[in-house]
Structure 1
Amino acid sequence: MNVRRLIPVAAVTGAVLLGLTACSSPDGSAHKNGGKLDVVASFYPMQFLAERIGGEHVEVTSLTKPGVEPHDLELTYRQIGGLSDADLILYLKGIQPAVDEAVKLSEAPHTLDATTLTTLEDHGTEVGGHDHGGDEHGHDEHAHEHEGDGAGADPHIWLDPVRYAEVAEGVGKSLEKTDPDHAADYRENTDALVAELGALDTAYRTGLKNTETRTFITTHSAFGYLAERYGLTQEGIAGIDPEAEPSPARISKLHSIAEKEKVTTVFFETLASDKTARTVARDTGLRTDVLDPLEGITEASEGDDYIEVMKSNLAALRTALGAK
């Protein structure tokens, strides 16, 4: 992940001004897509919410094309300029620096940062525990929580169905406020999605209740919230950055952890290189499998949408952890 790769401020500002001139409708009216709300989503987890909750009343455009690693996204001038013309911009601060910068400078009237809709925590290479300590939701009582501001915190909130449901509620309310004429439909769609996410949470809670081990190794530490929620321990080969190179000391530690905790599998993901994961697996005699962080849906994804891929992730975890 190249978190420092930002489009220069002058370029963003110029593109925004161009967008105001070239993209706005002559009469300044909104809803240019045949009466539909023009919603811009930063990447797939935000796109999924906008499409499911907005339904037939929205036209959703994602800034991140399928197959593109979202952390490294570089925006085009057209994308930047179009932000000022959107009816609603839905993004998640801390995942895509280029998007954060462009949204800040766009001065778009309606933006929603998903990190303001739930709590964020600091996660490193190891999260969770070998029991179900913490509060009734499986949270680590010692974790550092942040309300709204995602600076320095783990942004992968969508991988926890409970937190994702909180975000869904907020997106629904934002759509109701932006387009009150269809508020009832947005509320109905939100309730349906939250119910699905509740069922997904139940499936994870039940499916991971009794396992031979509680520890899993993954390419990078994207699954901290999921680990906390279900009383697991995530051991990341790298940290939050999916492309960071692990140190020799970290590799050595993973060897010891794998033996001590009876780890069976090293997980890699669909949008990042699996080279390091396969090397660790070979050196430790472990299997490899996919645990998808759901930053994008491609033909390689084990499912067509968020719900399906999360169910595939659960099946992979149950196998790796020896669920009974």
Structure 2
Amino acid sequence: MNVSRLRPAHTTRIPTAAVAAAAVLGLLSLSACSSDTAGKAKDGKLSVVASFYPMQYLAEQIGGEHVSVTNLTKPGVEPHDLELKPKQIGSLGEAGAIVYLKGVQPAVDEAIKQSKNKHAVDVASLTALEKHGDEVDGKHHDEHGHDEHGHDEHADEGHDEHGHEGHDHGGGADPHIWLDPVKYAEAAKGVAKTLAEADPEHKGDYEKNAGALVKKLGALDAKFKDGLKNRASDTFITTHAAFGYLAERYGLTEEAISGLDPESEPSAARIKDLHKLAGEHNVSTIFFETLASPATAKTLAKDLKLKTDVLDPLEGITDKSRGHDYVEVMEANLAALQKALGTK
């Protein structure tokens, strides 16, 4: 009998240091893979989260073929009332970039702050904000943001929480800057900068796309200027004070039934004022919008024997929208204003 066959087979021992080194290399390779895919969508494009439609439009126009954009606000949902689901909150921390507008959606503002995403851009910080609406902090303001004593309450310059230079847009400031094509264009350059920081490889394309969008918005601005030149009236009445920047840009006066909050109910004194204003300024039309209830606007129009029409604040695109994108709906708004203001 061969005794050697009964001996256990010889096993090779791997030094502990070698095992540890291999584990570290494995972790490093996993880390590299995860960093390569961090902030990327399944198709490999930069994952961008937009808070609501005007931010989605900016992200898509500037990002072009290099981004995959997700809108937190579904079509037909009133953005101001949005409540985020856990999955949406989680997506903010994983996103390659976030484009939002502070002051419109409190729940979104808080979730973005908690996400600590370093590529989140607050579009409101990219242009000067003003205070619009009939009553702000208990004082009456005109359409240029001055109170009854003539004090200019325009926001001061500052920085947002992500380090972007811009303007303080604290309490009472009107966030509806996207309804002014000029201010909207000012924001485009800042969005391009954020996308380039998140995805340096395509910086040139983001800057080029932003330039094309600025040009498109410049053409829209020119249409409004030319289209509203010869008008019979400067005053229009609408559901809520969303059009303050647009009114100021083109020399119009916005009179809102409610304030900046589309869901707030007007006081009896406010309704009485609107009756008087409608007569004094030859108002022909009471405007309502697609996402908020038209009931108060239609009741006021019936009482005054005036027409009604849609003036869309473009907070979302639906099948009922008068256009498929931002520019088309803004052109529809221009046509509605021309008809209501009696342009020639």
Same fold at TM > 0.5: yes
Contact persistence 2:76–2:317 (CA under 8 A): yes
Contact persistence 2:196–2:202 (CA under 8 A): yes
Deviations 1:45-77 (A, max 9, x none): 000000011011000000000000000000000
Contact persistence 1:127–1:235 (CA under 8 A): no
SS of alignment partner, residue 40 of structure 1: strand
Whichever of the two has the greater Rg, that structure is 2
Q: Which amino acid aligns with 1:239?
A: G
Asked if 1:181 is matched to 2:201, the reply is yes
Contact persistence 2:62–2:192 (CA under 8 A): yes
Corresponding residue pairs, total? 292
Q: CA deviation at 1:285?
A: 1.1
Deviations 1:63-97 (A, max 9, x none): 00000000000000000011100000111000000
Give the equivalent residue in structure 2 for 1:128. Answer: 143
User: Matched residues, percent identical?
Assistant: 62
Give the equivalent residue in structure 2 for 1:18. Answer: none
CA distance in 1 between counterparts of 2:285 and 2:126 reads 34
Contact persistence 2:120–2:194 (CA under 8 A): no
Give the equivalent residue in structure 1 for 2:17. Answer: none
CA distance in 1 between counterparts of 2:208 and 2:263 reads 40
Asked if 1:83 is matched to 2:92, the reply is yes
CA distance in 1 between counterparts of 2:308 and 2:215 reads 33
CA distance in 1 between counterparts of 2:152 and 2:334 reads 26
CA 1:127–1:269: 2 relative to 1, 3 Å: farther
Contact persistence 1:264–1:321 (CA under 8 A): yes
Q: In structure 1, which of residues 44, 47, 60 is the aligned counterpart of residue 53 of structure 2? A: 44
CA distance in 2 between counterparts of 1:193 and 1:141 reads 35
CA distance in 2 between counterparts of 1:25 and 1:159 reads 43
**Higher RCO, 1 or 2 (CA under 8 Å, sep at least 6)?**
1
CA distance in 2 between counterparts of 1:124 and 1:277 reads 17
Contact persistence 2:240–2:257 (CA under 8 A): yes
Contact persistence 1:237–1:246 (CA under 8 A): yes
CA distance in 2 between counterparts of 1:257 and 1:190 reads 41
Asked if 1:108 is matched to 2:117, the reply is yes
Deviations 1:84-117 (A, max 9, x none): 0000011100000000010111111211001110
Deviations 1:15-35 (A, max 9, x none): xxxxxxxxx997243224332
CA 1:60–1:292: 2 relative to 1, 3 Å: same
Give the equivalent residue in structure 2 for 1:27. Answer: 34
Q: In structure 1, which of residues 143, 149, 157 is the aligned counterpart of residue 177 of structure 2? A: 157
Q: Which amino acid aligns with 1:42?
A: S
Asked if 1:61 is matched to 2:76, the reply is no
Give the equivalent residue in structure 1 for 2:227. Answer: 207
Contact persistence 2:41–2:68 (CA under 8 A): no
Asked if 1:286 is matched to 2:296, the reply is no
Q: In structure 1, which of residues 144, 160, 164 is the aligned counterpart of residue 154 of structure 2? A: 144
Deviations 1:271-294 (A, max 9, x none): 000000001101111110000000
CA distance in 1 between counterparts of 2:83 and 2:50 reads 15
CA distance in 1 between counterparts of 2:68 and 2:197 reads 17
SS of alignment partner, residue 121 of structure 1: coil
Q: Which amino acid aligns with 1:85?
A: E
Q: CA deviation at 1:141?
A: 9.6
CA distance in 1 between counterparts of 2:329 and 2:274 reads 27
CA 1:235–1:25: 2 relative to 1, 3 Å: farther
CA RMSD of aligned residues (A): 1.9
Q: Which amino acid aligns with 2:113?
A: K
Q: CA deviation at 1:178?
A: 1.7
SS of alignment partner, residue 95 of structure 1: coil
